[in-house]
A and B are shown apart, each in its own frame.
Chain A
Amino acid sequence: MEILVCVKRVPDTAENEFELNGAGNDLDRDDLVYSVNEWDNYAVEEAIQMVDKMGGSVTVVTVGDDESEEILRREMAMGANNGVLLSDDAFEGSDGKGIATILKAEIEKGSYDLILTGAQADEGAGQVGGMVAAMLDYPYASLVNKIDVMDDKTIKVGREIEGGNQEMNEISLPCVLSIQTGINEPRYVGIRGIRKVSSVEIPVKSASDLGLDAASVGSAGAKTRRVDYFVPDMGEGAEMLEGSTEEIIAKLIEKLKAKGGL
């Protein structure tokens, strides 16, 4: 099975403290450390486990700059067979649709049975997977937490629904899936693993390699544009109800009625 996993380099919420920059229109990116988006990492682990079981290969792809190469190497250290970097100045400022357009161009160059994306990204909007599927006219399932391969044309995918229940759906290949965290337990990749793949070749493809018109991607082709970044005003905080249990219950009912909750 040939699997392509789309990964994104993001500033990890666990290792960063986010503040607005001086101009107040973006995050202060001076001291940020980056890593592969957590959901994408789960997707790569799932792909590797599937290929370990039934053969094939895992390719990881990202749209970014030179620095994005490090996350491709990390996923290859984890076990992905190939990495591709899609990089071009024209790609800067792409919105979700732009990224999807670029990825679609790369996907069409190969013949992949399965395309995985993370369900969402830190600093993302959870839209690229669905857009890529629509552009390719492939079936799409989101928030997948289980994949069972039936045969080389059909797979079953699961997602969690209300009450902690599980829903399973059949979907035909090739298709696009967005992967939810918790689908597996990703293996650890340490400095040593990364050093082992430090000299592996990672091809870089530009807009012209992909046959893309610069006007359809980047800020030139963006249909959405970020206008503001701000920290919301702090509210007064929580109101603490005092008194005995009966008194608190009475007050609570009053407030819920007054605000239209009951």
Chain B
Amino acid sequence: MSSIIGPASYQLFGIFPTAILSFVLPVIGIGLFAYIMTRRIAPLVRAAPDNRFDHIGLRIKSLVVVWLGQIRQPRYMLAGVLHIVIFAGFLILSVRSISLVIIGLSDGFVLPGLGGWLGHVYNFIKDYAATFVLIACIVAAVRRGIYKPKRYAVPEKYGKDHTAEAVFVLGIISTLMISESLFEASELAYALTVDGQSHFLAPLSLVWIFKAMLTSASPGFLQGLHIFTYFVHDLAFFFFLCFLPLGKHFHVITSLFNVFFMRVQKGNIKPVQHGIKDEELDSLESFGVKRLEDFTWKHMLDFYSCADCGRCSDQCPANAVGRPLSPRFITIKARDLMFKNYPLSGEIYKSKILVEDIFTEDEIWSCTTCGACEEECPLGIEYIDKMVDLRRGMVDEGMVPQSLQKPLKALEKRGNPYGKMEKKRAEWADEAEFKAKHSIKDLGEETADTLYFVDSITSYDDNIQEIARRTSIILEKSGVDFGILGKDEKDSGNEVLRFGEEMLYQDLKQQNTEAILASGARNIVTADPHAYNALKNDYKGLPEVKHISQVVAQKIASGELELKTCQNPDKVYVYHDPCYLGRHNGVYEAPRQAMDAINGLTRVELEKSRDRSFCCGGGGLMLFFEPEEETRMGVLRVNMAAEAGANVIVTACPFCLVNIQDAIKVAGKEGQMEALDFTELIEQHLK
């Protein structure tokens, strides 16, 4: 009985032992890989510190849910399924790949533990894994090469198309699957032809098909094929290993780490530098990210981990309206800069100032910090903290657009971006009709259980002041004992922080914190999601903060608040999730519950709702910024509402209200669409 000669024992032309190749290939491959990895790790060693070893439990959960569970993949169903198949296949076949390397040195090697029935079960599973991976690769290649989905397109200013790289890698993976299956099939066909041995194979798997094709082949051919396909696999495997760190497939190696280290808290912004307390900020030489090395090591790891899938840019509202920002290319350009400045061989280049090199100032100011990109990324890549750090760097250098300098100066002098006087902050409560029936407590003089934090736009904008009045009426009706800070209240600073003016934010935070704690209030309520976010996530040491929609939903559930039947039963209402209430803080259901408590109200859902909500255009300082864009985010959103069949857009954020109201006019939909604030809807329906 002769069996096929494996690569460990085979002698090419009768004299050259191929086992030498089996030894040399892995040694070179692993050695080269180790060298490449060392060069790749170099910039991370020089990077800024990052605190990513906290909340280990939550990090393990991210690993299980996002990395292993691939939970974000199905958000793009076809690509998601293809990827899950390939990812699962890789995990399963990793065991086989290790065995194969050793088989080249020791015939018939079997990993410890896979000797008996477990080994048979594994072989069965891995054969289907390889088959499905190959099918997925073919589908993916056709999709990338022929159908070319829009989100993979590379705009001219960003360089050459990336399709070739993508299809090339799919080709390598397919080669691995085919060569591994042929290696096994040739051995089994040989055993059948020469010895009459028959082995059970996973039916219709790749191996099964190849073996069936090879039954009439000569033993000589099968022997040659066996050795040939072994070394094709070995070579492809180590080539692929060394190719991974050179492009977008680096994520195959870094994804585990990137997801483990990904953000576990939402809505907050990273400190200027980890390890430096607020009081120590004055001692820093430089603020923010000006050069590549100013990024933290995790942000650099993000740049390496990008799979170039384009999902972030596909969801980015700034990108959708034609602003110069595409999150995908923020990452890819930075990654390419890392590759260029820290080459595999040769000297390390000194980094230039990023906004004079790979980024433009407008590109960085265009971001509304809506978070859609971060929510989408299957690899846990973060963007908001990077934008804030880049803005901190620009502010430190004085590179602030003129349109933002006025509101920033006004915030510094008057505590609000409009430059209006502090003593007029509570004038909304003096409106004649309102004042006749309601009086608002000033917590500087009286005490109350709850603080109603109004924030700047609601205090000073003529149209938005109504929100303050209605919120007060709702709170009163709900039996909440509340008061306001009045002239002691300053802008919450949510956007001041996110636009990189750290010291002004610290100043506002300090003044507000003092005033809030001095008031003695035991909880805070606000109708402004930006204030809600800042007070809840960025400020420290404050009592619990709630948004008015949460209070309303709770009071309805407990029976303390009752609503009338719908006053406009013919209208079709749709709720637009504000970014800072929804995506950043997870408040999706409370406003919906409140709306649904109105009997007879017809409510539809937007396709892009909840954590896929589409930003209205932004709030705070973003209202003052003059971007270069082809259309407005609000206009796109109004069109989405019209498509959903709605004629009333309800939103729970004053900035969303302003943007959508303006957009209705710009889109020419006056009379067909109206924008309503949540407080207006509720107050209209109070019994």
Q: Do residues A190 and B399 form an inter-chain contact, with CB atoms below 8 A?
A: no
From B397, B413, B420, A35 is in contact (CB under 8 Å) with B413
Q: Is B412 an interface residue (CB 8 A)?
A: yes
Residue among A14, A78, A188, A191 making CB contact with B399, cutoff 8 Å: A188
The residues in A between 12 and 55 inclusive whose CB is less than 8 angstroms from any CB of B are: 12, 14-17, 31, 33, 35
Q: Measured between C-beta atoms, what is the minimum distance from B284 to chain A in Å?
A: 9
Q: How far is the CB of B406 from chain A (nearest CB, A)?
A: 6
Asked whether, in the complex, the Cβ of B421 is within 8 Å of the Cβ of A191, the reply is: no
Query: Which of A31, A35, A78, A188 has its CB near the most chain B CB atoms (within 10 A)?
Result: A188
A78 CB contacts on chain B under 8 angstroms = 398
Task: Please state if B413 and A192 are interface contacts (CB–CB under 8 Å).
Answer: no
Question: Which residue of B398, B412, B419 contacts A14 across the interface (Cβ within 8 Å)?
Answer: B419
Against B, the Cβ 8 Å flags (1 = close, 0 = not) of A176-201 are 00000000011111111101000000
Identity of the chain B residue whose Cβ is nearest the Cβ of A13 in the assembled complex: B419
| Interface: B61 (CB within 8 A) | no
**A residues in contact with B397, CB < 8 Å:** 187
Whether the Cβ atoms of A15 and B419 lie closer than 8 Å is yes
Known pairs A31-B423, A35-B409; A190 contacts B414 (CB<8 A): no
The residue that B503 contacts in the complex, of A14, A33, A35, A195, with Cβ under 8 A, is A195
Q: Write the nearest CB–CB distance from B355 to chain A, whole angstroms.
A: 14
User: With A15-B414, A17-B421, A33-B414 in contact, is A192–B409 under 8 Å at CB?
Assistant: no
Q: How far is the CA of A35 from the CA of B409 in the complex (A)?
A: 9
Minimum C-beta distance from B400 to chain A (A): 4
B411-455 at interface with A (beta carbon < 8 Å) = 412-414, 419-421, 423
Interface flag for B246 (CB, 8 Å): no
Chain B residues whose C-beta falls within 8 Å of the C-beta of A187 in the assembled complex: 397-400
Specify which chain A residues have a CB less than 8 angstroms from the CB of B404 in the assembled complex: 188
Q: How far is the CA of A187 from the CA of B399 in the complex (A)?
A: 6
**Distance A35 CA – B412 CA, assembled complex (angstroms):** 11
Smallest beta-carbon distance A78→chain B, Å: 7
The answer to whether A31 and B421 touch across the interface, beta carbons within 8 angstroms, is yes
Q: Are A190 and B501 in contact (CB under 8 A)?
A: yes
Which residues of chain A are within 8 angstroms of B419 by Cβ–Cβ distance?
12, 14-16
Option from A14, A191, A193, A195 in Cβ contact (under 8 Å) with B406:
A14
Chain B, residues 368-381, CB within 8 Å of chain A (1/0): the string is 00000000000000
User: A219 CA to B215 CA in the complex, in Å?
Assistant: 114
Within 8 A of B (CB), among A59-116: 78
**Does B345 interact with chain A (Cβ within 8 Å)?**
no
The CA-CA distance from A255 to B396 in the complex, in Å, is 58
Separation of A214 and B549 alpha carbons in the complex (Å) = 67
Asked whether, in the complex, the Cβ of B408 is within 8 Å of the Cβ of A195, the reply is no
Separation of A17 and B399 alpha carbons in the complex (Å): 29
**Which chain A residues border B395 with CB–CB below 8 Å?**
188, 190
A15: B residues at CB distance < 8 A: 409-410, 413-414, 419
Q: Which residues of A contact B396 (CB under 8 A)?
A: 192
Which residues in B have their C-beta under 8 angstroms from that of A33?
413-414
- Alpha-carbon gap, A223 to B412, bound state (A): 38
* Residue with the greatest number of chain B CB neighbours at <10 A, chosen from A31, A33, A186, A187: A33
Q: For the complex, what is the distance from the CA of A189 to the CA of B396, rounded to whole Å?
A: 8
Chain B residues within 8 Å of A195, by CB: 282, 503
Check A192–B410 contact: CB distance below 8 A: no
Type the 1/0 row for B280-296, where 1 means its CB is closer than 8 Å to any CB of A: 00100001000000000
Q: Is the interface of A mostly helix, strand, loop or mixed?
A: loop
Determine whether the beta carbon of A192 is less than 8 Å from that of B405. Answer: no
Looking at the assembled complex, report how far the CB atom of A222 sits from the nearest CB atom of chain B, in whole angstroms: 31
> How many angstroms from the CA of A191 to the CA of B493 in the assembled complex?
14
A15→B410 CA distance, assembly (Å): 6
By the criterion CB–CB under 8 Å, are A188 and B400 in contact? yes
Given contacts A17-B421, A31-B421, contact A190 B413 (CB under 8 A): no
Q: How far is the CA of A191 from the CA of B406 in the complex (A)?
A: 14
A35 to B404 CA separation, bound complex (whole angstroms): 17
By a CB distance below 8 angstroms, the chain B residues around A185 are 402
A71 CB to nearest B CB, Å: 13
Q: Which residue of B lies closest to A38 (CB)?
A: B406
Say yes or no: is B504 at the interface (Cβ < 8 Å to chain A).
yes
CA distance A190 to B413 in the complex (A): 11
Contact pattern, B 107-130, Cβ under 8 Å of A = 1, otherwise 0? 000000000000000000000000
Shortest beta-carbon distance, A225 to chain B, in Å? 31
Query: Does B507 have its Cβ within 8 Å of any Cβ on chain A?
Result: yes
- Please, which residues of chain B bring their CB within 8 A of the CB of A35? 409, 413
A14 and B410 contact, CB distance less than 8 A? yes
With an 8 A cutoff between CB atoms, is B502 at the interface? yes
Contact between B408 and A188 (Cβ–Cβ < 8 Å)?
A: yes
Query: Which of B398, B412, B413, B503 neighbours the largest number of chain A CB atoms within 10 Å of its CB?
Result: B398
Residue among A12, A31, A190 with most chain B CB within 10 A: A190
A188 touches B287 (CB 8 A): no
Q: Which residues of A contact B405 (CB under 8 A)?
A: 186, 188
CB of B504 within 8 A of CB of A190, answer yes
Q: Which residues of chain A come closer than 8 Å to B398, judged between CB atoms?
A: 78, 187-189, 193
Question: What are 11 sample pairs from A and B whose C-beta atoms fall under 8 A apart?
Answer: A12-B419, A14-B410, A15-B413, A33-B414, A78-B398, A185-B402, A186-B402, A188-B398, A190-B503, A192-B503, A195-B282
Chain B residues engaging chain A, CB cutoff 8 angstroms = 282, 287, 395-400, 402, 404-406, 408-410, 412-414, 419-421, 423, 501-504, 507
Closest 7 CB pairs of A and B: A187-B398, A188-B400, A15-B419, A191-B503, A33-B413, A192-B503, A188-B398
Q: A14-B410, A191-B507 are in contact. List 9 more A-B contacts (CB 8 A).
A: A15-B409, A16-B419, A35-B409, A185-B402, A186-B402, A190-B395, A192-B287, A192-B503, A195-B503
